[in-house]
A and B are shown apart, each in its own frame.
Chain A
Amino acid sequence: MFFETINIALRGLSANKLRTFLSMLGIIIGVGAVITIVSIGTGSQQQIISQISNLGSNLININRGFTRGWGGRVSSDANVSFTLEMRDYIQESSPAIKNIIANAQGQGLFIQGENNIRANLVGTEGVYQDINIYQPQEGRFINSRDIEDRANVIVLGAELAQELFEDDNSIGRTVRFNQSNSTFIFTIIGIMEDRERGMMGDFNNQAYIPITTYLDRIANSNEVDGFIAQTYSSNQATEAVNQINYFFEMYAGDSSSVRITSQDQILDTMNDINRSLSLMLGGIAAISLVVGGIGIMNIMLVSVTERTREIGIRKALGAKKKDILVQFLIESLALSGIGGILGVGVGYGGAYLISKIGDWPFIISPPAVIIAFSFSLVIGMFFGIYPAVKAAKLEPVEALSYE
């Protein structure tokens, strides 16, 4: 009996294919949009995660916080001075820290022959390459000897080297760096490998010199910008953050002027942003599903009116209210169900296409597919109830005499 009713309902739908398709369109688009958007969300999230882990995992950034001042004066509580030696104290403060480097940087003009390029100069230490999993393609990186000697050596990012020297071998040659009307000359000791632009800056377009050289010659100060610490494993990051916080509490009496962020926290923030964006877009897509449902209700109401006589005949032949109700419910369920299946197809296609355009992994989340599809069925059910009840309630005599 039940299968017969399904059969009757499907016959009803196939009798008017174009209209059936058009009334499904809302559901198709809605389901497709939900799946595509969730896929974009997860795909771009994967991309962000891989970018962040590309930087080297389990990193903790220690920077000066935003200074709280007023009237053009910097608040005194922002006055924690970051010295080079402090990195050793921080390291001692937490056993979870494997490596730590001091970091200072500034913009300036790199000059080589006719070429001059504005780029970032980073004062750093040898373990920078371990922390960032970043190796030179030619020559070598800064070592502890360079730090001790405050050597005038420089390592260039891949693109910067390319821009300055084109294809010439530049190791052993010099490059000039101009900042605030002073010019410094460095000997090139290495060229770094090609590295994608990440969260922590544009590796390819900067150059590296020993931190001591940077402080002495360029910054003329004994204060660094901040520190980058690396923990032994990523699940120690939170512990280390707390310990570093404690260190600043003890050392400076206040840790609020120091900003300590782990990769995890950055990742969490990015994920939060991503999630709320996905939710918002998913919500919009869900609205289009509801609109699709209204389209189905509309077509079902037309169908009930058109088929009043058929309903009368069926009732005369012994159909009960329940039979008619189920017949029309199944029709609207079939409409939304088939629409949902087509929508899943559209969603896969759309997600694939956009993942190619956005250059992130093509990921379809099964729960999204299941939820979107079930939601389309729920909508078909919900918006099918009213027309079906209307059909079931028709009086046989009136339905039979309907022209």
Chain B
Amino acid sequence: MLEVNELRKVYNSGLIEVEALKGVSFRIDDGEMVAIMGPSGSGKSTMMHLLGCLDHPTSGSYLLDGKDVSGFDDNGLAEIRNKKIGFVFQQFNLLAKTSILHNVEVPLIYAGVGRKKRRKIATDVLTKVGLGHRLDHHPNEISGGQKQRVAVARALVNNPSLILADEPTGNLDSKTGDEIMELFHQLNDQGHTIVLVTHSDEIADHADRTIRLLDGELVKG
């Protein structure tokens, strides 16, 4: 369960102050699949950064699993990102110079899981997303859809409370995009909470409900 309350984010670049989020409140229950939508400049990316604990809010609270993480320091947020949040990016963001298996192991390394156990968990998760036969390949040796599956596997590997996907199909053709969305549905059916950040109605349609942002505010209705 996650809940944001009057969440504000102000960017201060020299003389200009930009209020990217102007006090947004909503709540997402465990097991939901929710889309956060809005055109560019709506504060959607800022919301994603805050939900993903990549950034500190200016004010307001953010409860993740009942804990208010809005006041956490950098190390605290790093730990939350590691244990409770799984990211899937539009750009895949895999480490190019290492194997797929190692890519999926990275969150486990930072969680302090031992080598053997790590290898086993990562192999299992990769098998689950259908890449059990590609463990030693490097990201540049596989297709875009497969890359995104690796990213999903990496997001899942620490068994997070929240999977945060930022335009997950943005760099994929529609067929592979559908396959990835299908993967998200499967994960959702298994009980994972999924937040999709997107500007596309088509993607948002996959979600149970949609949270719309415009100019840093929640659009009612």
Contact = CB atoms under 8 A, between A and B. Distances in A.
A316 B54 contact: yes
Nearest to B84: A318
Contact of B110 (A12, A319, A397): A319
Interface in A6-21: 8, 11-12, 15
Nearest to A393: B74
B154 interface: yes
Interface stretch (B26-34, B75-83, B210-218): B75-83
B93 interface: yes
B54 A396 contact: yes
B81 A400 contact: no
Contacts, number: 62
Contact of B93 (A316, A319, A320, A397): A316
A318 B54 contact: no
A1 B109 CA distance: 7
B18 to A, nearest CB: 14
B14 interface: no
B106 interface: yes
A400 B54 contact: yes
A317 B52 contact: no
B87 interface: yes
Contact of B112 (A1, A315, A316, A395): A1
Given A316-B54, A316-B87, A317-B81, A400 B109 contact: no
A318 B93 contact: no
Contact of A317 (B74, B115, B154): B154
A318 B107 contact: yes
B75 A321 contact: yes
A309 interface: yes
B143 interface: no
B126 to A, nearest CB: 16
A19 to B, nearest CB: 14
Nearest to A403: B91
B49 A4 contact: no
Nearest to A323: B110
Contacts of A309: 93
B55 interface: yes
Given A1-B112, A4-B109, A400-B93, A316 B52 contact: yes
Contacts of A310: 95
B5 interface: no
Residue of B55, B78, B106, B110 with most chain A CB atoms under a 10 A cut-off: B78
A8 to B, nearest CB: 8
A313 interface: yes
A332 B17 CA distance: 39
Contacts of B127: none
B111 interface: yes
A275 interface: no
B128 to A, nearest CB: 19
Nearest to A14: B97
B159 interface: no
Interface in A273-323: 309-310, 312-323
Contacts of A321: 74-75, 78
B40 interface: no
Contact of A320 (B54, B75, B98, B107): B75
A12 B98 CA distance: 10
A321 B154 CA distance: 21
A241 B109 CA distance: 73
A396 B49 CA distance: 9
Nearest to A5: B109
A62 B40 CA distance: 98
A11 B109 CA distance: 15
B98 A11 contact: yes
Given A318-B111, A319-B78, A323-B110, A313 B95 contact: yes
Given A4-B109, A15-B97, A323-B110, A397 B55 contact: yes
Interface string B98-127: 100000001101111001000000000000
A168 to B, nearest CB: 81
Nearest to A316: B87
A397 B106 contact: no
Interface in A75-129: none
Interface of B: 49, 52, 54-55, 74-75, 78-79, 81-83, 87, 89, 93-95, 97-98, 106-107, 109-112, 115, 154, 158
Given A4-B109, A318-B79, 6 more contacts: A11-B97, A316-B93, A317-B154, A320-B75, A322-B75, A400-B54
10 contacts: A313-B94, A317-B107, A318-B79, A318-B81, A318-B83, A320-B74, A320-B78, A320-B79, A396-B54, A400-B89
